[in-house]
A and B are shown apart, each in its own frame.
Chain A
Amino acid sequence: MLRSREICMAAATVLLATGPSMGQEVRLFSFEGYAEPQWVEPFEAETGCKVSVAYTGSVDEMFARMVGSDGADFDLISIDTSIIQRYLDNGLIIPFDMSMVPNTANLLPSFSAVSEVMSGGETYGVSMAWGSLGLIYDKEAFPDGVDSWEALWDPANAGRVLALDDANNNVTNAAIILGLDDPFNLDDADFDAVKNKLIEQKQYLISYYAGFEEGVNIWDSSEANLMFSMGEFQAVELADRGYDVVYSIPKEGGIGWLDTWALSKGVQDVDCAHKWVNHYLNGHTGPTMTELKGYGNTTDESPGLDYSDKLVWLRPVENFDRRVQVWNEVKAAQ
């Protein structure tokens, strides 16, 4: 009896000890739609690197988890260009070895020299997807279309509106709707205006949601027909579930984002991580993602995404913590 137990213990120890080195792996922490079987499977077959993905519900959650684990849990993260500096300031990301990502030659000119991804001559982010945080509406409920964000503040639509649970994007979008000069650089009066605007909206909301899938699920189990969306992918998902929805950027404008792969400080398999980024720019992955998930890609034209001139591209903000604080107060307000 004792013998068999000892053997089991020894086996477990050996398994634990050899586990991490047994297979090569890249651990992604990203938004939904960036690691689909259509390009994960060819990657695994080509490189022998396994892909594991954890999805995040919001920009805030991603940052908190990265700070909390000092980056140890993930190899690559999908972060937008505006927040790279915040990760850099906290020492959470390290530069890529660009000689291991030769496919950057495939980047379209507008994505090949993005200044926000560079610091001290090193590259900290590789542009891989872009899109917007648009407004989704149900065509049947709004046959004439919806051309203003104010529809989400319209008493006529009370109980039919969803909004995402994300501090920075809500504050920025409210600032855009209010027509403030610089939505990324708010003063005290601006913050008050934004906070009041967001609190005013609460009476018309069904719920906040965190994560693409969660937003779609709530739409499914409620009477929602208007949504402050996390991105194009949600319209694709809703259409898959049989909803006749339109994804649009209203006249006030909307948030545009450019997501990059960034290398976590706690990266374990540096080789696989670089291979994944390289795979993303091979000229097939990007267009496939655009076709299936609706995001713009960075290596080819992105059919259907014709509103880039209406977008206000995310930039670093005056004080991220203050935005989180304001957002918490909005959520706690009665």
Chain B
Amino acid sequence: MTVGAGRSRPGIGDYLLWSVIALFIIVPLGCFLAYGFFSVVDNAIVYRPTVGNFAELLSNPSYRATFLRTIRMAFEVSAINLVLGYATAYFIWLRPPGMRNFLVIALAIPLLMSYIIKIYAMRGVLGTNGLLNSALMALGIVDEPVSALLFNLTAVRITLSVVLLPFMVLPIYIALERIPASVLHAASDLGANELQTFTGIILPLSLPGGIVGAMFTFVLASGDFLAPELVGGIEGFTYGRLIFSQFGLAFNWPLGAALSILLMCVALGVIFVARRLGNPRWQR
């Protein structure tokens, strides 16, 4: 094979790899973009370009409201997770090396499990007969089960925060790990106290990890439709479910594609901003 040797003259390997990229990434993406400009008449897709989907998307107030509500929810999940995730990552980073590795692995294990099982588990935790309510009652904090924990937007926020937490902790932890010990030693040699070291060195050097994590959680939360459907109740009609309903229920793929394109633009915008913010000074 000539994959490595083909710098001046592309070998067969290069063509193969390019065809894989074209076949599995570029062509599907192109199809997806194109569908956003088609339309549906009598349950059949009309392959004539139109901007009708985008006009409907912008003019229909219920789409707009759903979109804004979802973006706000995703933003809140990211903010909650940034705080929780940073505290968790910092805690792990301060443990002795053996314990550290154990905790990181323990944190990553849920990522290997089925997403839907985790959401159902959260339903079991948050329900009126659930774990959390049983615990609150056993501790005497409440007298009767709290039903406000499940089937509303709060439940969606809690569920997404829990499920997406590893995506926040891991990049922050990696950023913390990459801070050279010599920098910390220098700080203490120069007489910086713990707070000064944290605010002056640790936080600025690890925040880029937090920004990457916030980007992950925002993008994943804004497009999710399973958690809103399963724990969101009436309030859980999010943008992701709107997209799903176009594909799964209404058979309006073009409108679904157009809705997705808008979400993709937002995601790309967030990634762009995160790249800008996440580029630490010492890497420039």
Contact = CB atoms under 8 A, between A and B. Distances in A.
Interface of A: 58, 60-61, 63-65, 67-68, 89-90, 159, 167, 202, 205-208, 210, 217-218, 220-223, 321, 324-325, 328-329, 331-334
Nearest to B245: A328
Nearest to A68: B251
Contacts of A90: 43-44
A221 B129 contact: yes
Most buried by A among B150, B248, B249: B249
Contact of A222 (B127, B237, B247): B127
Contacts of B247: 64, 68
A64 B40 CA distance: 13
B65 A334 contact: yes
A162 to B, nearest CB: 10
Interface in B22-57: 42-44
Interface string B240-271: 01100101111101000000000000000000
B62 interface: yes
Given A221-B124, A222-B128, A60 B43 contact: no
Given A206-B151, A222-B151, 7 more contacts: A58-B249, A64-B250, A210-B229, A222-B150, A321-B43, A329-B62, A332-B242
A67 B247 CA distance: 10
Contacts of A329: 62
A155 to B, nearest CB: 15
Contacts of B43: 67, 89-90, 321
A64 B251 contact: yes
Given A60-B250, A321-B250, A333 B62 contact: yes
Interface majority SS on A: helix, strand, loop or mixed?
A: helix
Contacts of B232: 207
A321 B247 CA distance: 13
Given A63-B251, A64-B247, A205-B234, A332 B124 contact: no
B63 interface: yes
B250 A332 contact: no
Contacts of A159: 147
Contact of A64 (B123, B130, B249): B249
A324 B62 CA distance: 14
Given A60-B249, A208-B234, A331-B237, A221 B242 contact: no
14 contacts: A63-B251, A64-B251, A65-B248, A67-B251, A68-B247, A159-B147, A217-B123, A220-B127, A222-B147, A324-B249, A324-B250, A331-B241, A332-B62, A332-B65
Nearest to A62: B249
A65 B253 CA distance: 12
Interface residues of B, number: 32
A93 B147 CA distance: 45
A63 B127 CA distance: 32
Contacts of A60: 249-250
Interface string B116-132: 00000001100111100
A275 to B, nearest CB: 31
Nearest to A65: B248
Contacts of A218: 151
B233 interface: yes
Contact of A221 (B44, B130, B248): B130
B197 interface: no
Contacts of A68: 247, 251, 253
B134 interface: no
A202 B234 contact: yes
Contacts of A205: 233-234
Contacts of A167: 249
B233 A207 contact: yes
A329 B245 CA distance: 11
Contacts of A324: 249-250
Nearest to A206: B151
A92 B253 CA distance: 18
B71 to A, nearest CB: 15
A219 B178 CA distance: 49
A40 to B, nearest CB: 26
B250 to A, nearest CB: 5
A304 B162 CA distance: 46
Nearest to A201: B234
B230 to A, nearest CB: 8
B66 A332 contact: yes
A41 B38 CA distance: 46
A187 B58 CA distance: 26
